[in-house]
Amino acid sequence: MAKKHVVAAASEIPPGGRKLVTADGRAIVVFNLGGEFFALSNRCPHRGGSLCEGSLTGLVLSDDPGHYDYTRRGEIIRCPWHSWEFDIRTGKSWCDPDRVKARRFGVSVEKGAKLIEGPYVAETFRVSVENDYVVVEA
Partner 1 sequence: MTDVMTEVGAIDCDVHPSVPDVAALLPHLDTFWRDSVVERGLNSLDSNSYPLKSPLTSRPEWRNKSGLPAASAKEVGDQVFGRWQSGTAILNCLYGVQLLFSEDMAAAFCRALNDWVVKEWLDRDPRMRASIVIPMQNVEYAVDEIERCAKDRRFVQVLVLAMQEVPLGRRHFWPIYAACERHGLPLGIHAGSAYRNPVTSLGWPTWYIEDYAAQAPGFQSQMASLICEGVFAKHPGLKVVLIESGVTWLPGFLWRFGKFWRGLRTEVPWVDRAPWEIVRDHFRLTIQPFDAPDDPHAVERAIEHLRSDDILLYASDYPHWQFDGDAVIPAGFSPALRRKIAISNPLATYARLKEDAR
Q: Which residues bind partner 1 (CB under 8 A)?
A: 57, 60-69, 82-85, 93-96
For 108-132, letters b (16+ CB in 10 Å) and e give ebbebeebeeeebbbeeeebeeeee
Q: List beta partners, residue 1.
A: none
Closest contact distance (angstroms) between CB of 95 and partner 1 is 4
Closest contact distance (angstroms) between CB of 7 and partner 1 is 30
Angle at 138 between CA 32 and CA 89, to 5 degrees: 35
Closest contact distance (angstroms) between CB of 94 and partner 1 is 7
Q: Would you say 62 or 124 has its CB closer to partner 1? A: 62
Count other C-beta atoms under 10 Å from residue 76's C-beta: 20
Closest contact distance (angstroms) between CB of 20 and partner 1 is 22
Q: Would you say 86 or 133 has its CB closer to partner 1? A: 86
Q: Would you say 7 or 76 has its CB closer to partner 1? A: 76
Q: Would you say 26 or 89 has its CB closer to partner 1? A: 89
- For the chain, strand residue ranges (E) read 4-9, 18-23, 26-33, 36-41, 55-61, 69-78, 85-87, 104-111, 121-122, 132-137
